[in-house]
Amino acid sequence: MSEYEDLLYEVKGRIGLLTLNRPDKLNAWTAAMEKSLKHALAAAVKDDAVRVIVVTGAGRGFCAGADMNLLQSIKPTGNWEDRELAKAAREETFDFRSGLGPDVTPHYGGRFGYLMQIKKPIIAAINGPAAGLGLVFALYADMRFAASDAKFTTAFAQRGLIAEHGISWMLPRLVGPAHALDLLLSARKVTAADAERMGLVNKVFEQANFMGAVMDYAKTLADTVSPRSMGVMKAQVWKALFQDFNEALAVGDAEMQKSFATADFKEGVAHFVEKRAANFTGK
């Protein structure tokens, strides 16, 4: 296990597991946590043994939002780039671009846009309350699974704030404009079951076996499908939000031709014909 401030990182099989680690504060977000998260993600991206990334929270919460001490220290003058969290976010930069599929970099900037550049699927395992900034971060994951006791709130309107960090773009695309406005304007608490019904999360698992169920799903991705295919398809989907149908179709046709020349395509056919487990290399 590697040591990071306010975060734990470990590799379990082919899964990189990142755990926000301030359980006594419901993993409230800090500058140190943000810096550690980026470093751990960079490590997971660089490690060829890691094929899927899971982010969760220690203790009974996922992330309660920005630490209140940070919120209290914000001055009304200046801009986002002057804030402590912003300085931490840009203190060290990494190139997360994968070179697989279409380039999504021009479309996803800001604080968490780099997550779309990472070729490996990122799963937010929401084990408990996710509020404010914690919920925003989860929206940038490729998939979200929730424990049955989890609660969700945007929180911004109850703090006199607005829809920050691209959530006004991301949330309506996940749940539709009406649900997005409900969640943003009311800042009400939403149960895991309600979150699943509106499409905020992919699936809800029982609290008692939540992480086991999430890790089983992640293991299925890591062990049974081509990591190259996952990387290309992730880029296709995030890019398609800025394309019309014909553009997305053309990209798909071009990427399919590239796939035919890969070792993973040959292995994909071979393991099916030979009725054995797949041994994908990502090449």
* Ranges of each domain in the chain: 2-222, 226-273
Q: Do 124 and 136 form a contact (C-beta atoms < 8 A)? A: no
Angle at 232 between CA 231 and CA 234, to 5 degrees: 65
Helix (H) or strand (E) holding 16: strand 15-20
pLDDT at 130: 98
Residue 52 clears pLDDT 60, i.e. is over it = yes
Q: What is the pLDDT of residues 205-216, one digit of tens each?
A: 999 999 999 999
What is the fold of 2-222? Answer: 2-enoyl-CoA Hydratase; Chain A, domain 1 (3.90.226)
pLDDT at 97: 87
Residue 94 clears pLDDT 60, i.e. is over it = yes
Say how far apart CA 164 and CA 252 lie, in whole Å.
33
User: What mean pLDDT, rounded, does the chain reach?
Assistant: 93
Mean pLDDT of 24-42: 96
pLDDT at 74: 59
Q: Do 22 and 76 form a contact (C-beta atoms < 8 A)? A: no
Angle at 234 between CA 231 and CA 239, to 5 degrees: 125
43 Cβ contact partners less than 8 Å away, ≥ 6 residues apart: 2, 9, 16
Buried b (16+ CB within 10 A) or exposed e, 103-131: ebeeebeebbbbbbbbbbbbbbbbbbbbb
The sheet with strand 122-126 has its strands ordered as: 2-4, 7-12, 15-20, 52-57, 122-126, 143-147, 203-205
Residue 88 clears pLDDT 60, i.e. is over it = no
Burial group, residue 27, by CB count within 10 angstroms (0-12, 13-18, 19+): buried
Q: What are the angstrom distances between the C-alpha of 69 and each of 25, 59, 84?
A: 12, 21, 11
pLDDT at 1: 45
Could you tell me the end-to-end alpha-carbon distance of the chain, in angstroms, rounded to an integer? 28
Residue 279 CB coordination number (10 Å): 11
pLDDT-derived band at 93 (thresholds 50, 70, 90) equals confident
Residue 84 clears pLDDT 70, i.e. is over it = no
Percent of the chain with pLDDT over 70: 91
